[in-house]
Amino acid sequence: MGEIFQLLKRGNKSAMLAAIINTIISIIKGVAYMYTGNVAMFAETMHSLGDAANQFFVFVGSALSKKAPTEKYPNGFGRLVNLVLLGAVLIVGIMAFETIVEGYHHVVHPTESSGFIINLLVLGVATLLETFVLFKAMKEILHEIEVEASGPSVFAKSFANLGRAKPATKLVFMEDLVATLGGLLAIIAVLIAHFTAFHRAEGLASMVIGVMMFFVVGKVFLDNAAGVIGQADEEMENKIGELVMADPDVKDIQGLTVIKEGEDLHVELEIEVDPKLTVAAADDIKDRLEEKIMAEKGVVDVTIEIDEEDEIMSWKNRSEPTTE
């Protein structure tokens, strides 16, 4: 039990914060929907409820993925977070389907909802809270990739570096981005329905919110399916390749692979050295490189093979443009 609590302390904090806030938001929205019968409020209730459950599972998965390797599972539990996220998106998918169906029914059979002021207040407060969580997720992305930013630049830099974020943080970011946009859309729909008597606006808003939720489902599914299979991290391969080639005793790199498993990186490296070097000298090179590579953020293990120089340059930085 003590080990579980220690692991939970290392879980993704953005996911836990988002889960707590979305639970509160879903309860408030649910009560408002029961009182007013507003279909846009129903869509937002389902959205927040799905997000809360999703983000709680993300928090647990990100924590358990940090469990140390065991004799039975020598490769560790890094991919567990990807598996949890694949399961979590099913929840969002179900909520998205229900949201679209309810919205469709309201478009076909529009009805007038009550509690205009209540709807606006609840949606306004909820959207502000979602914006706060979104901003925290943006800050978390920049913290993970060690990028400094403040003020408006946080928004631009977090969007630009979203692909480098950890799977759990990326999911929180995407869900709360859609939640914030969905809240604004619901507010607009409530205003239109109230002042123009176009009550179908609320149903249309519900359907659009459901479609946005399905977009998150698709994006997260594809990203984490790749993580479960084992995805190469080309950016880190280039970085480690430059680090290795900077060593004066390394003549070439025959092979370099960096596999991402959840938040962990596994490095496999094959280098060429001067064939005249002694075994002891080659071993020193290996130890030196292993120490440098292990110092890189996210790297959990390194496998290095050494071969003699063949005088044919094999290594080429993948970020460099290819020439015919």
Q: Does pLDDT of 318 surpass 70?
A: no
Tokens of 118: 């209540």
For residues 61 and 168, the answer to whether their CB atoms sit within 8 Å is: yes
Instruction: Write down the pLDDT at residue 323.
Output: 46
**Dihedral angle computed from the Cα positions of residues 293, 297, 301 and 303, in that order, rounded to the nearest 10 degrees:** -30
pLDDT > 90 fraction of the chain, expressed in percent and rounded: 18
Q: What is the pLDDT of residues 144-180, one digit of tens each?
A: 787 888 878 888 888 888 877 777 778 778 888 888 8
Q: Which CATH class is domain 2-229?
A: mainly alpha
Q: Does pLDDT of 279 surpass 80?
A: yes
Q: Does pLDDT of 1 surpass 70?
A: no
| Distance in angstroms (rounded) separating the CA atoms of residues 28 and 125 | 10
Claim: this prediction has a pTM higher than 0.85: no
pLDDT band at 240 (very low <50, low <70, confident <90, very high): very high
**Across all residues in the chain, what is the average pLDDT?**
83
Instruction: Write down the pLDDT at residue 2.
Output: 64
| 279: exposed, middle or buried (Cβ count in 10 Å: 0-12, 13-18, 19+) | exposed
The DSSP annotation for 17-85 comes to: HHHHHHHHHHHHHHHHHHHH--HHHHHHHHHHHHHHHHHHHHHHHHHHTTPPP-SS-TT-STTHHHHHH
pLDDT mean over 223-234: 74
Q: What is the pLDDT of residues 33-83, one digit of tens each?
A: 888 888 878 888 887 887 788 788 878 877 877 777 777 777 677 777 778
pLDDT mean over 73-97: 78
May I ask the CATH architecture of the domain 234-308?
2-Layer Sandwich (3.30)
pLDDT mean over 135-147: 85
Q: % helix / strand / coil in the chain, to the nearest 5? A: 65, 10, 25
| 58: exposed, middle or buried (Cβ count in 10 Å: 0-12, 13-18, 19+) | buried
Interstrand relation of 252-261 and 264-273 (parallel, antiparallel or unpaired): antiparallel
pLDDT band at 304 (very low <50, low <70, confident <90, very high): very high
Give the residue ranges of DSSP H helices in 65-165.
80-108, 116-144, 153-160
Domain spans of the chain, in order of start: 2-229, 234-308
pLDDT mean over 231-255: 88
pLDDT mean over 16-23: 86
Q: Does pLDDT of 324 surpass 50?
A: no
pLDDT band at 262 (very low <50, low <70, confident <90, very high): low
| Distance in angstroms (rounded) separating the CA atoms of residues 261 and 77 | 8
* Residues in contact with 285: Cβ distance below 8 Å, sequence separation at least 6, in sequence order: 247, 249, 250, 271, 273, 277, 306
H or E element that contains 271: strand 264-273
